Amino acid sequence: ADGEVPLESLPVSKKGMMYNSEFGEIVDCWLEEDLKLKKKDRRTNKKIHEDLKKEYGFKGSYRTVCDYIQHRKPFIKEAKMKRYERLEHPPGEAQVDFGNMTVVKDGAYKDIKLLIMSFPYSNAGFAYPLPAENSECFLEGLKNLFHQAGGVPTYIRIDNLAAAVVSIGKGEERTYTDSFLRFQAHYGFEVQACNPASGHEKGNVEKKVNYTRNNFFTTHPIMEDFSQLAEWIQKEMVADRERPHYEKGVSIQE
């Protein structure tokens, strides 16, 4: 749930393959997910090691994984208990952010931007691939995300993106670009930019970016063009929203 201490802010003092690669991030996510389950349903260290090898090509030893889990688990448990402030999210509130993803285009690796919109209340996520983070791409991406979601959120929380924010004033004061203000007026939503260095304020979408990368882009998809890639990721996200919500007992889509 949002409002928790971000995992990336937890102390990491040790070094090694688990601390300097995506493997540690993946295990952190699994450990956090397991805290929401009954103990009997949580992954064992052996299961985590096997899944890393099978799903992500991990070459490290079982002992390496056990040592990492022993070191990180107390910090992750502490993060669940220690909160900044409890943020309650109404159903119509969304968070939006870009993520960097890697695809294969014409036989070579290519970095693309993925604009992701998440709804903390339901944990639903929507994604749209773009070539850049400029204003034109940002607004085109938002328009497509609204279409995927079947409507416009009443309230959107964003980062201080250059595509939307010209300058940062005191507190919540922001100067937005003219194009973003016209877009906002046309679609009729409220917006709030996060405070600087306050990633926890949009923690839900940050987790959704990591979740999307770890579940759909670790084996880099082949990209013909952005239209084909958009169709592919939309199908993946639709299927993913059929998962049961971890607290509500119904599918995320419902």
Residues 129 and 216 in one domain: yes
Structure tokens at 187: 């679609």
- Domain co-membership, 223 together with 157: yes
Instruction: Say whether both 107 and 227 belong to one domain.
Output: yes
Q: Same domain, yes or no, for 57 and 114? A: no
Buried b (16+ CB within 10 A) or exposed e, 112-146: bbbbbbbbbbbbbbbbbbbeeeebebbbebbebbb
Tell me if 254 is assigned to some domain: no
Residues 98, 222, single domain; the answer is yes
Which helix or strand (DSSP H or E) is residue 128 part of? strand 124-130
User: How do residues 218-249 score in pLDDT, each as one tens digit?
Assistant: 999 999 999 999 999 999 999 998 876 455 45
Judge if 35 and 75 occupy the same domain.
yes
Domain range spanning residue 20?
7-81
Instruction: Give dist(CA 40, CA 120) in Å, integer.
Output: 27
Task: Give a yes or no: residue 248 inside a domain.
Answer: no
pTM for this entry: 0.62
Distance separating the N- and C-terminal Cα atoms of the chain: 18
Instruction: Determine, yes or no, domain membership for 252.
Output: no
Residue 36 is given by DSSP the state T
> Could you give phi then psi for residue 83, rounded to 5 degrees?
-120, 150
Distances (CA, A) of 228 to 54, 128, 137, 214: 28, 11, 17, 20
Do residues 142 and 222 share a domain? yes
* Among candidate residues 34, 59, 81, the one where a domain is terminated: 81
Provide the number of structural domains found in the chain.
2
Q: Report pLDDT for 214.
A: 93
Tell me what pLDDT residue 92 has: 80
Q: Which of 46, 81, 116 is at the close of a domain?
A: 81
Q: What is the pLDDT of residues 116-160, one digit of tens each?
A: 999 988 888 999 999 999 999 999 999 999 999 999 999 999 988
Domain CATH code at residue 213: 3.30.420.10
Q: Do 68 and 100 share a structural domain?
A: no
Residue 77 or residue 85, greater confidence: 77
Residue 34: what pLDDT? Answer: 85
Q: Which of these three, 81, 113, 129, is where a domain ends?
A: 81
